[in-house]
Chains A and B, each alone.
Chain A
């Protein structure tokens, strides 16, 4: 009996010694959960599944909220000293957050994000960098702007409907107006969905990237391109060339499928929506260049708030999901336009044709639009409010409430008020 116990004791001692002397393997990282807060799920459903196999220790939970509520809510959280691990900030709102780089993790300093800069489209990258050079966010996608049109309806109206021909026939605001007039005369139906998006798109085509804010002085300015866009919208509205259906309304969604309008400005991220709404008429929609060549509308940056609980895990996810390989996958899967130009040269990208889009090479078309843009629109602190004021002015004028001149006058008064803010 004693012998047995002794044996056991010696055995135990060996085991303990063995354990103590064994080389310490790196402890398995405790599983971590990070939150990604956004105004939509960024089309990540499939990539998230893949992430689980790539890094099962970091679980990503996506939390969504209404577009405005998400950004306003993020701001509230940052003020109070909290926030999710990752948040997406849409470029239209980025100016607001970039004004306070101290609220975000400095991605350049902490994670050497500056090494990634060259992989991204330069002006998209700039939208995630604060005025003092702090890198706050990494670009997710880009919303190159083109013009989608119903090639079948154009054909019926006796107008050219092939991509190149349409692009040529609408390459300037004057040409576009003439083209639209011909359509309306032939069919009696409106050409465009609404002038608001026309204004948004054309106003962004200022040569030096100035829309509402001057980059050098960081002050609100009025530039000719914006007035030009406004006047174009006024022409369209007064000559009833647009259906004036409100963006995002159910009428608008339905209009994509029922011929209420024959053309609309479409950023790349809108394509799947149009496709959904036009399920019954595959191939009816096609894509051409918008007047003036192109612009950018939309896209977000992924940021890590300063108070995130797991910034390292957050960065691990961000650097993976925004890498060129994943962005290509996202494009092929959901049509999201990548911000890493190396993808544009990938053969699968170039070859991707979309049957629902009359076999248009979507990737090629949009990447050309994007690469042609040299400067991003510089957005200042009150970008959102200024944009709201301009859009409201276009809306008043388009709905016939005020003449274009009266609406512009009221707009200038409101801009003056905003300029007075610090």
Chain B
């Protein structure tokens, strides 16, 4: 829309364009503080780091331009692919059940005649309110090999002690359960907020028509929260592919003696901050970016298919 400044005229056409001009100005004010700050603190660091990816960049020493060298080496590095597999595995184990669980919890909390609804709704958000450090200590103690409660409980089923963080799948499970515990409530609340805007009459008339709970969910709830569903799936993909805190705190910076829980973000951190290879680390960052874009697109498409009208 052209921002032509026209004097307000009485006729309809004139009023429209001056309104548009006013809108344009307001839009400018609305987004410029955001963009200004974002440019400095969001975009500049990213551009700078992308620039670093074309160099052999020792932060305390020399910078040597090597063109695409980092990227070539990276794609041939089997650590990268291991990290990618780990990240995806943890993501699937941690995020998919979590979102499903969050959806389920939201439907429960959305019930019309739920007693103590305020209490339940607040309770599920508590895990997100606690310190990651403290929770990690508790989870590692719960998953301890010799004295952990989980192995103790499993022993009643005749299962031998599992060395959780030592194995590949088992370490992913430990990390995933921590992520699920922490983030389900968060997503449940988002779904709940969306569900609240679906008119109750739809459910009532469906019930009278004889639809059961599952059918109501499939044909009313899901399409009703379609946008939010796509949104949460996208956000979880972005966050999930960048998982760092949970495995780092649970298992340490090296990601396990066989890098069994080494994620892409941990790979970036180790290369950049512990091996001084900032250029290589930046290249990893760009790789993560592409992964996120691809998977976000895939997942968003899946989500929108699930929730189609």
Contact flag (A, B; Cβ within 8 A) = yes
Option from A78, A79, A384, A395 in Cβ contact (under 8 Å) with B257: A395
Contacts A79-B59, A395-B257; A72 near B146 (Cβ below 8 A) = no
Q: Do B275 and A251 touch across chains, with their CB atoms under 8 A apart?
A: no
Interface flag for A111 (CB, 8 Å): no
Q: Do B273 and A385 touch across chains, with their CB atoms under 8 A apart?
A: no
Contacts A79-B59, A395-B257; A250 near B144 (Cβ below 8 A) = yes
Option from A103, A250, A421 in Cβ contact (under 8 Å) with B147: A250
Q: Do A251 and B147 touch across chains, with their CB atoms under 8 A apart?
A: yes
Interface flag for B60 (CB, 8 Å): yes
Contacts A392-B258, A399-B166, A401-B166; A385 near B274 (Cβ below 8 A) = yes
Interface flag for B291 (CB, 8 Å): no
Interface string of B144-173 (1 = CB under 8 A from A): 111100000000000000010010000000
Contacts A251-B146, A260-B146, A385-B274; A396 near B253 (Cβ below 8 A) = no
Contacts A100-B61, A384-B274; A392 near B147 (Cβ below 8 A) = no
Q: Do B58 and A72 touch across chains, with their CB atoms under 8 A apart?
A: no
Q: Bound complex: CA of A13 vs CA of B208, how far in Å?
A: 104
Of the four ranges (under 10, 10 to 19, 20 to 34, 35 or more), the interface on chain A belongs to 20 to 34
Interface string of A63-97 (1 = CB under 8 A from B): 00000100010011011000000000000000010
Interface flag for B50 (CB, 8 Å): no
Identify which of residues 223-253 in chain B touch chain A, using a CB-to-CB cut-off of 8 Å. 252-253
Q: Bound complex: CA of A72 vs CA of B272, how far in Å?
A: 10
Residues of B within 8 A of A385 (CB): 274-275
Interface flag for B56 (CB, 8 Å): yes
Q: Do B257 and A254 touch across chains, with their CB atoms under 8 A apart?
A: no
Interface flag for A36 (CB, 8 Å): no
CB distance from A403 to the nearest CB of B (A): 13
Q: Do A72 and B273 touch across chains, with their CB atoms under 8 A apart?
A: yes
Query: Closest chain A residue to B73 by CB distance?
Result: A420
Q: Bound complex: CA of A245 vs CA of B144, how far in Å?
A: 10
Q: Do A249 and B140 touch across chains, with their CB atoms under 8 A apart?
A: yes
Query: Closest chain A residue to B280 by CB distance?
Result: A421
Q: Bound complex: CA of A260 vs CA of B146, how far in Å?
A: 10
Q: Bound complex: CA of A208 vs CA of B59, how far in Å?
A: 32
Option from B61, B62, B275 in Cβ contact (under 8 Å) with A382: B275
Interface flag for A388 (CB, 8 Å): yes
Interface flag for A217 (CB, 8 Å): no
CB distance from B262 to the nearest CB of A (A): 11
Identify which of residues 25-74 in chain A touch chain B, using a CB-to-CB cut-off of 8 Å. 68, 72
Interface flag for A134 (CB, 8 Å): no
- Number of interface residues, chain B, beta carbon within 8 A: 26
Q: Bound complex: CA of A255 vs CA of B259, how far in Å?
A: 26
Q: Do A100 and B60 touch across chains, with their CB atoms under 8 A apart?
A: yes
Interface flag for B141 (CB, 8 Å): yes
Interface flag for B184 (CB, 8 Å): no
Option from A99, A254, A255, A401 in Cβ contact (under 8 Å) with B258: A401
Q: Bound complex: CA of A100 vs CA of B276, how far in Å?
A: 12
Q: Do A78 and B144 touch across chains, with their CB atoms under 8 A apart?
A: no
Residues of A within 8 A of B259 (CB): 392
Of the candidates B56, B61, B257, the one having the most CB atoms from chain A within 10 angstroms of its own CB is B257
Q: Do B254 and A388 touch across chains, with their CB atoms under 8 A apart?
A: yes
Residues of A within 8 A of B163 (CB): 399
Interface string of A394-405 (1 = CB under 8 A from B): 111001011000
Q: Do B258 and A249 touch across chains, with their CB atoms under 8 A apart?
A: no
Query: Closest chain B residue to A72 by CB distance?
Result: B273
Q: Bound complex: CA of A267 vs CA of B52, how far in Å?
A: 42
Residues of B within 8 A of A100 (CB): 60-61
Identify which of residues 251-282 in chain A touch chain B, using a CB-to-CB cut-off of 8 Å. 251, 254-255, 260
CB distance from A106 to the nearest CB of B (A): 16
Q: Do B60 and A103 touch across chains, with their CB atoms under 8 A apart?
A: yes
Q: Bound complex: CA of A254 vs CA of B145, how far in Å?
A: 12
Interface flag for A235 (CB, 8 Å): no
CB distance from A408 to the nearest CB of B (A): 13
Q: Do A249 and B60 touch across chains, with their CB atoms under 8 A apart?
A: no
Ranked nearest first, the 10 interchain pairs of A and B with the lowest CB-CB distance are: A395-B257, A392-B257, A100-B60, A251-B146, A79-B59, A72-B273, A396-B257, A388-B254, A399-B166, A68-B253
11 example contacts (A-B, Cβ-Cβ < 8 A) are as follows A68-B252, A72-B274, A79-B59, A96-B276, A103-B60, A250-B140, A250-B144, A251-B145, A392-B259, A396-B257, A399-B163
In addition to A79-B59, A245-B146, 9 A-B residue pairs with Cβ atoms within 8 Å of each other are A68-B253, A79-B60, A99-B60, A100-B60, A251-B147, A254-B147, A392-B259, A399-B163, A399-B166
Measuring CB to CB, which residues of chain A are less than 8 angstroms from any residue of chain B?
68, 72, 75-76, 78-79, 96, 99-100, 103, 245, 249-251, 254-255, 260, 382, 384-385, 388, 391-396, 399, 401-402, 418, 421-422
